[in-house]
């Protein structure tokens, strides 16, 4: 009998009616001859509300206690979903991350999964039950409750699908799939039927918000096919699968954008070994996630190093760069918080060298200045002024025939 | 170093400010040279709210899932309290019932504690930490999350105090102790400084609401001294201790009352063996908690059996009694839902036979008719009309000089 892991996000279980709707869908999936394992997030805005309470109570929020606090959210949604399933005559049982055997490291609030045991889930399936598992949480090797960080429920679902050798993993969300541009900016944006893991990784890392990067990495590493679809319309969504020869390889699959970052430039850096290392080691030690890094060829013995960081880490990063600049003999630090990144992603790009040229021409024709460029084998990203981002996305979507 | 278990009820941790106040009190208790283990209930009305959500989602509410749902409440309060303690520089760590090693049977929503392991709490204490434990919850022998039923947090606190050999257990609540009558009815009611376990058992079982009966039984069986006091005024409250020769033994310690029950009488019951057994087995099988039972001496071969049940079980009980009456040849069933019970409790009553007489005289002088009488060695209870209860309590409080 096929085994499907179905993951429902917070908006999909936001109230009593939606929980009953989800229960109905799970019951139908079973009635069609499938075994089902369900993964749920906390209801609606529960997690944000708990974080607000914590900040109201305390200035120091130890990670271990934040995790204890936040993991209360999924208990509520999963217990309620099991009750709704019982009303439909479907035997179900809820399992915490710990009960499901999701073993993590001890890095509270952003733990990594080390092992998925899943014995109790297998027992439940063997007993013709639907296990309903708390997303986002696990238990550490020190026997403490942990959470997996933002997007953790997707990772839970993928990890369970891998451990239980599920046929595939359905990620139900509030949008109907992965689009080839943000439909709020490009009305002609189309839903993608299939993308490869690699494309999905690039889409997620360059601003696509449908799937957390981590869960896509996990899915790729364990060959778990994903089906991203809507818990509101229930229509087929986007399949994320292993790239194969039968797969159509569009040159460009999607245009993505991201306005959550800021840019810093350390200018006039003497061209000698170790300076970049000092800068980025300092940022890494503060857990600042640097995205793009660009260093031009040295001219007359000095060079400029530019990089982007999340806006929330901007002030800390600038202070670090400004402290370092005189120490290493750099001439100064420039920064810009009004930037955005526009990217093209496509598995076929590897064999079509003209994509970059066409991208730059399209932006030039719109009078948009490119501040930084970075590429991977299947992605090209340009940093532009923040107010030009929407126009850039629209122009690229049209130029590459994605409508 | 003395070890104190401090239990804080829902009103004591109802909001951010109260949680910080509790943290402050715990910190002071430590600063006075004590080790502390804290037990908390869910914040304010959380549990009621979760029950409401369950009834909104589903008609069938499997016990296992209700327990998963309800145990989310203490996670929130205990994590927040640990954060508030961290702000005060007190190292604290929260533990679920399962992590604290509170092992129960599998009777969901009203599980009984089978064993308290407490290894992780001992480790935390050895590491100079304050363990903050979720009240009301445990883990069953089948590894499922369980709850202990109403008043379960008090039982958790007492059970931990016993298992950890604490010096005593403080129960913080929204009243300042155990009073010798309900202060809302008797303005002259006095707070009791000390009561014996046996008196407290009778007070709890005859309508006193400060401590759950179960937690008092557990305390008596394990000789855990209790200190019931207010988390609002922090003043000394009432000690519940083993009765000993040094203890003053007042003839009457308290007047209690209870208007939560209804009375049923099966009249004209043939006086032969087995009839009462059939009736009460039937009630027991429906988990109906019969309180008082009275059967008068048989006159002319028939007798009347009267008993009281909680009002919420009244309709089921009456239907049962009415179905049984013709089968056993009884003449009929009479019922009264407008009754109340007034009780006198006192350890010294054993050696003072005149208490009953004085009680009946006091009620007679007020023109109050007694409908049923039941006694234990340290309690006398009279069933009276519900509208006479307040007057009866006031008259008895005055008559026995409790003001």
Q: Closest approach of chain A CAs to the CA of B63, in angstroms?
A: 10
Cα end-to-end span (Å), chain B: 39
Q: What angle do CA A285, A290, A292 make, to 5 degrees?
A: 155
pLDDT score at A151:
85
Has residue B248 got a pLDDT over 70?
no
Task: Find the closest chain B residue to A89 by CA distance.
Answer: B60
- In this structure, the number of other CB atoms found within 10 A of the CB of residue B223 comes to 11
- B92: chain A residues, CB-CB within 8 Å: 65
Residue in A with minimal Cα distance to B92: A65
Q: Looking at residue A178, what is its pLDDT?
A: 96
Note the pLDDT of residue B122.
98
Each residue of B185-230: pLDDT tens digit? 999 999 999 999 999 999 998 988 889 889 999 999 999 999 999 9
Side-chain half-sphere exposure of B75, counting CA atoms within 13 A: 25
Using an 8 Å CB-CB cutoff, list chain A residues near B143.
99, 120
A16 contacts on B by Cβ (under 8 Å): 53, 56-57
Contact criterion met (CB < 8 Å) for B54 and A20: no
One fold for A264-336 and A339-399: no
CA distance B225 to B200: 12
Contact list, B52 vs chain A (CB under 8 Å): none
CA distance B208 to B190: 14
* Rounded Cα–Cα distance for residues B309 and B286 (Å): 12
pTM for this one?
0.88
Question: Residue B175: which of B229, B127, B98 has the closest Cα?
Answer: B229
For chain A (403 residues), the mean pLDDT of every run of 10, in chain order, is 96 96 97 97 95 95 96 97 98 98 96 96 97 98 94 96 98 94 95 93 90 93 96 94 73 93 92 83 85 80 89 93 90 94 89 85 93 88 95 96 91
Q: What is the pLDDT of residues B140-163, one digit of tens each?
A: 999 999 999 888 999 999 999 999
**3-class DSSP state for residue B93?**
strand
3-state secondary structure A289-334: CCCCEEECCCECCEEEEEEEEEHHHHHHHHHHHHHHHHHHCCCEEE
Per-residue tokens: A175 = 């949008």
> What is the rounded distance in angstroms from the CA atom of residue A227 to the CA atom of residue A215?
12
pLDDT score at A247: 61
Choosing among A15, A52, A62, A68, which should be mutated to test the B contact, i.e. which has the most B CBs within 10 A? A68
Query: How does strand A379-385 pair with strand A372-376?
Result: antiparallel
Give me the residues paired with residue A343 across strands. Answer: A256, A381
Judge contact between A41 and A136, C-beta under 8 A. Answer: yes
CA distance A79 to A82: 5
pLDDT at A328: 87
CB-CB: which of A56, A76, A87 is closest to B72?
Answer: A76
- Report ipTM for this prediction: 0.85
A93 and B64: CB-CB below 8 Å? Answer: yes
By the 8 A CB rule, do B9 and B153 touch? Answer: yes
* Homologous superfamily of domain range B261-336: ACT domain (3.30.70.260)
Q: Which residue of A has its CA nearest to B58?
A: A84
Structural domain spans, chain B: 3-249, 261-336, 339-399
pLDDT in tens, A55-81: 999 998 999 999 999 999 999 999 999
Smallest CA–CA distance, residue A108 to chain B, in Å, is 13
Taking contacts as CB-CB distances below 8 angstroms, the residues of chain B near A120 are: 143
- Under a CB-based contact definition with an 8 Å cutoff, are residues B31 and B93 in contact? no
Kindly report the nearest CA distance between residue A85 and chain B, in angstroms.
9
- From B87, which residue of chain A is nearest by alpha-carbon distance? A60
Residue of chain B with shortest Cα separation from A76: B69
Query: How many residues make up chain B in this entry?
Result: 403
State the nearest Cα–Cα gap between B372 and chain A, in angstroms. 44
Least CA distance to A90: which residue of chain B? B60
Determine how many CB atoms are found less than 10 A away from the CB of residue A102: 30
Which CATH topology does A3-174 take?
Answer: Carbamate kinase (3.40.1160)
Tell me yes or no: is domain A264-336 CATH 3.40.50.720.
Answer: no
Interface contact B69-A75, CB threshold 8 A:
yes
Q: How far apart are CA B170 and CA B29, in angstroms?
A: 11
CATH class of A339-399: alpha beta
What is the rounded CA–CA span in Å between residue B155 and residue B214?
A: 7
Element holding B396 (H helix, E strand): helix B389-399
**Rounded-to-integer distance, Cα B279 and Cα B266, Å:** 10
B92: left (phi over 0), alpha (psi -120 to 50) or beta: beta
The answer to whether A266 and A279 have CB atoms below 8 angstroms apart is yes
pLDDT tens figures, A191-202: 999 999 999 999
DSSP B285-354: HTT-----EEEPPPBTTEEEEEEEEEGGGHHHHHHHHHHHHHHHT--EEEEESSEEEEEEE-GGGGG-TH
A interface mutation test: which of B18, B46, B59, B68 has the most A CBs within 10 A? Answer: B68
Per-residue pLDDT at A381: 93
Pick the CATH number of B3-249 from 1.10.3470.10, 3.40.50.800, 3.40.190.10, 3.40.1160.10: 3.40.1160.10
- Cβ-defined contact of A57 to B120 (cutoff 8 Å): no
Do the Cβ atoms of A65 and B76 come within 8 Å? Answer: no
pLDDT at position B403 over 90: no
Integer angstrom CA distances of residue B194 from B211, B248, B347:
14, 9, 12
Q: Which two three-digit tokens encode residue B117?
A: 């392991």
Yes or no, beta carbons of B79 and A66 under 8 Å apart: yes
Give the model's confidence band at B246: pLDDT under 50 very low, under 70 low, under 90 confident, else very high. Answer: low
Q: Please give the helix or strand (H or E) that residue A392 lies within, else none.
A: helix A389-399
Local confidence band at B245 (pLDDT 50, 70, 90 cut-offs):
low
Half-sphere exposure of B132 (CA within 13 A, CB side): 32
Inter-residue contact A137 to A147 (CB < 8 Å): yes
């Amino acid at each position: 009998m096929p085994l499907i892991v179905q993951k429902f996000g917070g908006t999909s279980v936001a109230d009593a009616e939606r929980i009953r709707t989800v229960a109905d869908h799970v019951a139908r999936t079973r009635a069609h001859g499938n075994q089902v394992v369900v993964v749920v997030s906390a209801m609606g805005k529960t997690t944000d509300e708990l974080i607000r309470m914590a900040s109201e109570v305390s200035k120091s929020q130890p990670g271990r206690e934040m995790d204890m606090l936040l993991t209360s959210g999924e208990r509520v949604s999963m217990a309620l979903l099991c009750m709704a399933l019982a009303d439909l005559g479907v035997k179900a049982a809820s399992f915490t991350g710990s009960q499901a055997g999701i073993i993590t490291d001890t890095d509270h609030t952003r733990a990594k999964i080390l092992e998925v045991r899943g014995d109790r889930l297998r027992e439940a399936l063997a007993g013709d039950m639907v296990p309903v598992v708390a997303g986002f949480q696990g238990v550490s090797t020190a026997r403490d409750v942990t959470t997996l960080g933002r997007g953790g429920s997707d990772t839970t679902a993928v990890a369970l699908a891998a451990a239980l050798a599920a046929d595939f993993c359905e990620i139900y969300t509030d949008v109907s799939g992965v689009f080839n541009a943000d439909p709020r900016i490009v009305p002609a944006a189309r839903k993608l039927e299939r993308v490869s893991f690699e494309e999905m990784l690039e889409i997620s890392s360059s601003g696509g918000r449908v799937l957390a990067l981590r869960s896509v990495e996990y899915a790729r590493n364990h060959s778990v096919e994903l089906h991203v679809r809507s818990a509101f319309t229930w229509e087929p969504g986007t399949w994320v699968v292993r790239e194969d020869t039968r797969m159509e390889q569009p040159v460009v699959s999607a245009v993505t954008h991201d306005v959550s970052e800021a840019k810093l430039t350390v200018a006039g850096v003497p061209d000698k070994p170790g300076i970049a290392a000092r800068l980025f080691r300092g940022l890494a030690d503060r857990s600042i996630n640097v995205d793009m890094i660009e260093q031009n060829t040295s001219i007359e013995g000095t060079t400029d190093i530019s990089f982007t960081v999340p806006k929330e880490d901007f002030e800390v990063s600038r202070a670090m760069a400004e402290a370092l600049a005189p120490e290493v003999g750099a001439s100064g630090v420039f920064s810009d918080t009004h930037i955005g990144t526009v990217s093209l992603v496509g598995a076929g790009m590897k064999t079509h060298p003209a994509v970059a040229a066409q991208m730059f021409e399209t932006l030039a024709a719109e009078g948009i200045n490119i501040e930084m460029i970075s590429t991977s084998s299947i992605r090209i990203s340009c940093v532009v002024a923040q107010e030009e981002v929407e126009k850039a996305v629209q122009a690229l979507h049209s130029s590459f025939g994605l409508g």
